[in-house]
Structure 1
Amino acid sequence: SGTIDVEGAVAAMSEAMVLGPTGVSPAGSCGCGGSSQSANAESGVSASVRPSMADAPEGQNMVYALGNLSYDFGTEARRDSFKQLMPPVEINGDVVPANPYDARQLVAYLGENVSEARALTWTLNVELTPVYALEPTGAFGADLYGRLVEILAAEILGEGEEDHIQRVSIPGRLTGNTVRLFSGQVVPVLQLENPRGMYGWKHNALISQAAQAVSGRTSATADLETIQKNLRGFLDRVYYDLRNLGVLSSDRAVNFAATNAFQAAMVFSEALGGGMQLETIETEMSPFARADADAWDVKMKFFDPENTRRARRVYRFTVDVSELMPVTLGQVRSWTTAV
């Protein structure tokens, strides 16, 4: 008759949604007319458990990575917002608009407006390549953002300055999420829970202090300059040649064992004082460990570059990486070996 029965149409759609489309069986049914319980019993799969509900192996989401701290804006709008909010600067007597890509200007702005640090995408870089997007969360979120600003301020100092930070250690957890950076690169998100284990390493100060302590020992045969050179070579070898993402248990053990240059210098005083240099770093699962530990033995072998026939000196750390913050177990052991 040209009229539409609205009430009848709504009732028909409601009935269709309740009953479901014709010929489609409910989830878990084989469609043969039998009961879903018998089908599940034959296949051995419970209808209440799906693969996506299975727990991931413990420790798979923990990260202890080394690198450099940087920042990203994500979008042009976010970058322009910083450009408008940052105060203009004076260069050679001329007042020019702020440049958010200038880390010094940005650090000065964030020092007075720490809350603005949340608007940035903080990244951990390895060789200028972003590998993680850092996301402080929880009760210590404000402290973590303040710590990131402090580390960035020390990174932009001159390389010869004592407070210059060359590397940072970042413990965190992978969330499974990703972030697209301004360049279009997509990186995983690393969640930061608290400031524990997040350090900025001042290599110049650490090397100077460690070299002074090593050269003062009676067993030291190398001069102060040689010891400093060996220490710097040790750090460069660890950070550049053995770089990793810090996801595997063995990688986290290596990163933690080689993080503290001052502690390493005290342990390796005999080798460094004798002019020896790092040759290899090996990791293997520790045969003995306490219950629920993920313990790894880190073996660092040193050699004499001027006398290859000299016996190697091996130092062994045992590191437990079962927690977000790794910890060393027992004492450092050392011995000599022919190869």
Structure 2
Amino acid sequence: MSDVPALPGLAELWRQTTGDEQIRIAVIDGPVDRDHPVLAGANLSRLAGVWPEEGFAGAKAAHGTAVASVIFGRHDGEVSGIAPNCSGLSIPAFSDRRSKTSQLEIARGIELAVEAGAHVINISGGQLSPSGEAEDVLAGAVRLCQERNVLLVAAAGNDGCFCVHVPAALPSVLAVGALDDSGHPLPMSNRGPEYRHQGILAPGENILVAAPGGGTARRTGTSLAAPIVSGVAALLLCLQVRSGRAPDPLAVRAALLAGADPCPFEEPDTCLPYLSGVLNIERAVEAVTTSPIESTEPAAQTPPAEEVHATTTPCACTGAAPPPPAVVVSAEEPAPKQQWNPLVYAMGVLGYDFGTEARRDSFKQIMSAVTMDGTAVPANPYDARQLVDHLEAHPSEARTLIWTLNLELTPIYAIEPTGPYAADVYQLLTRLLSGETAGEEHADYIERIAIPGRLTGRTVRLFSGQDLPVIEVEQRRGIYGWEVNRLVQAATSAADTQPGDTDPQAVNRTLREFLTRVYYDLRNLGATSRDRALNFAATNAFQAAHTISSAVAQGMALDTIQVEKSPFCRIDSDCWDVKLRFFDPENSRRAKRIYRFTIDVSDILPVTLGDVRTWSET
């Protein structure tokens, strides 16, 4: 059986450090029994306010408690954790209320961990991906880790096949496979070409762990190997801090990969289960302490990204999206002062759900029959147009629906109007749903909406069985619909005020491309400060119309959009600069034109500060 304290090189590393509270490790997993004696005294908190509290009787809680104990188990207890004196954050994204954890929930957990100041994030889970690619929201969350210099450690999976899991298979992630008791790759540990340069093996068979309720158990799998690597990475960060350097998680990732023991065989096929090598703690310590390795993927080298502007007017976009960019965020951004910011400013498509068959059938019975080809037929509550007609005639019925905000077909939030203006908000939601059902050529057609809200810590279960976080919306202010055709008219009017000969069709085309790229290439959950600024910039389309009209009038096209932490801000505010870069597609030597404006996202409704600033860039 594997004895974690007997890992080669670990005892010597422990003589130097068993952790530092300045280094934070986030565990995205099932609920953790923090009252377990093994974890007593650990600086391990639970991220509250996003997922509901659960008991510890289920399999997900057993998994989460086991993983946390491998990292934070106190050394005078039954389970000696790798880094017991680091600070920890339990993010219970895995739940026994659902059979599988979605990529959406993993992405949500990653974003929250980054915002909470995590240096290392451990994910002992994932989903099989034949292509090695992830859904947009998960890919964006992993990209956020790279931009903010956060090390994401993920289990390679236990399918025992030539296959890959996400997020483990994504670039910049440190994938971890498992060794058996004899030091050979565990047969159940996944392998594949995606892991060859970003994965290492660590012990994963018969690992002693804490079990909810006070006992211990032995567990096997890549889920136990991953926290071993996460703990070692955290201790290496502690060594950096002790030497007077700033913690550099991505440099630690490079040191772990560079110091791994290579496959002992020569045949490439035989070496596939070894990924890029086996964890070697001594070499990693030497790399960090004597000849520090630079990060191979620093945030500063990430290619520029995209984002949007506008004002408090509806927005629009159509057309094909160009290849996705990456988002640039200042690597110098300080860690947040709080663990969780409940504010959300999200974009998506408005939807609705009944929750249960009984509620659906009640609508079907109450709604008026419709006439088709002269014949009266029962109402269809899934027909949004019929439902809108019913809600307009009976406004109070809107309260019995579960209103959702969706990224295309995936619900991400349940919208719950609350407070004295709840009736007004329900009325507005009905109007927005009506706009979504209008034809694309209709003046009132709405392509998507933007919602400011506050996370409640509650969830609601949809008819499909999916649990959604509930956001409360207290007033109509800040809820906007992207009214495509009206925005085109506004953009054309803005173009007429610009000097020079501006082609209205060019303004139309560029504006649609602008908003399409923001929504499709940079889709997000609207929970981080950066994403709230980006989404408000997209919604604030009137300002974008003026900006784009000015650039298009000079024969320029949109190149990139960047979001950076703003150096200019008011006291106790949270300000971000959105920067649009335009270029001349017919003359690459011509100077680029930069437009930059600042958004304060400290309130539930973001606000633009000052005027747009513009300059030329060679």
Question: TM-score normalised by the shorter chain: which range applies?
Answer: 0.7 to 0.9
Q: 2:522 aligns with which of 242, 247, 250?
A: 242
* TM-align CA RMSD: 2.4
TM-superposed CA distance for 1:176, in Å, is 1.4
Matched, 1:120 2:389: no
Q: Report if aligned partners of 1:215, 1:223 keep a CA contact under 8 Å in 2.
A: no
TM-superposed CA distance for 1:51, in Å, is 5.5
Alignment gaps of 5+ in structure 1: 1-27, 31-39
Q: 1:109 aligns with which of 390, 394, 398?
A: 390
Aligned to 1:90: 371
Q: Report if aligned partners of 1:143, 1:195 keep a CA contact under 8 Å in 2.
A: yes
Distance 1:230 1:107 in 2: 33
Matched, 1:179 2:471: no
SS of the aligned residue for 2:539 comes to coil
Amino acid at match of 2:504: L
Structure 1 residues 133, 247: closer, same or farther in 2, change over 3 A? same
Aligned to 1:207: 488
Aligned to 2:448: 167
TM-superposed CA distance for 1:254, in Å, is 1.1
Q: Report if aligned partners of 2:576, 2:598 keep a CA contact under 8 Å in 1.
A: yes
Matched, 1:283 2:566: no
Aligned to 1:327: 607
Distance 1:283 1:234 in 2: 15
Aligned to 2:348: 67
Distance 1:199 1:230 in 2: 21
TM-superposed CA distance for 1:268, in Å, is 3.0
1:251-303 superposed Cα distances (whole Å, 9 cap, x missing partner):
11111122122221113322122342322221121122111111111111122
Q: 1:224 aligns with which of 482, 504, 512?
A: 504
Task: Give the % identical residues.
Answer: 57
Q: 2:427 aligns with which of 111, 129, 146?
A: 146
Amino acid at match of 1:224: P
Distance 1:58 1:290 in 2: 22
Amino acid at match of 1:213: A
Q: Which one is further off, 284-293 or 84-93?
A: 284-293
Q: Which one is further off, 169-178 or 183-192?
A: 183-192
Distance 1:130 1:289 in 2: 34
1:164-218 superposed Cα distances (whole Å, 9 cap, x missing partner):
1112110001111112211222221111111110111212111122123304533
TM normalised by structure 1 equals 0.81
Distance 2:599 2:47 in 1: 32
SS of the aligned residue for 1:151 comes to helix
Distance 2:401 2:555 in 1: 45
Distance 1:245 1:84 in 2: 36
Matched, 1:253 2:533: yes
1:34-86 superposed Cα distances (whole Å, 9 cap, x missing partner):
xxxxxx9xx799xxxx9679999276110001111111111111111100000
Amino acid at match of 1:306: E
Aligned to 1:133: 414
Structure 1 residues 311, 111: closer, same or farther in 2, change over 3 A? same
Write out aligned runs for 1:295-314 (5 A).
295-314=575-594
Distance 1:140 1:159 in 2: 30
Alignment gaps of 5+ in structure 2: 1-34, 50-115, 117-337
Q: Report if aligned partners of 1:230, 1:275 keep a CA contact under 8 Å in 2.
A: no
Structure 1 residues 333, 53: closer, same or farther in 2, change over 3 A? closer
Distance 2:498 2:390 in 1: 46
Structure 1 residues 330, 81: closer, same or farther in 2, change over 3 A? same
Amino acid at match of 1:105: Q
1:85-128 superposed Cα distances (whole Å, 9 cap, x missing partner):
00111000011000001111100000011111111110001122
Aligned to 1:189: 470
Amino acid at match of 2:383: D
Q: Which one is further off, 309-318 or 105-114?
A: 309-318
Q: Report if aligned partners of 1:168, 1:200 keep a CA contact under 8 Å in 2.
A: yes
Q: Report if aligned partners of 2:47, 2:340 keep a CA contact under 8 Å in 1.
A: no
Aligned to 1:155: 436
Structure 1 residues 88, 336: closer, same or farther in 2, change over 3 A? same
SS of the aligned residue for 1:268 comes to helix
Q: Higher Cα Rg: structure 1 or 2?
A: 1
TM normalised by structure 2 equals 0.45
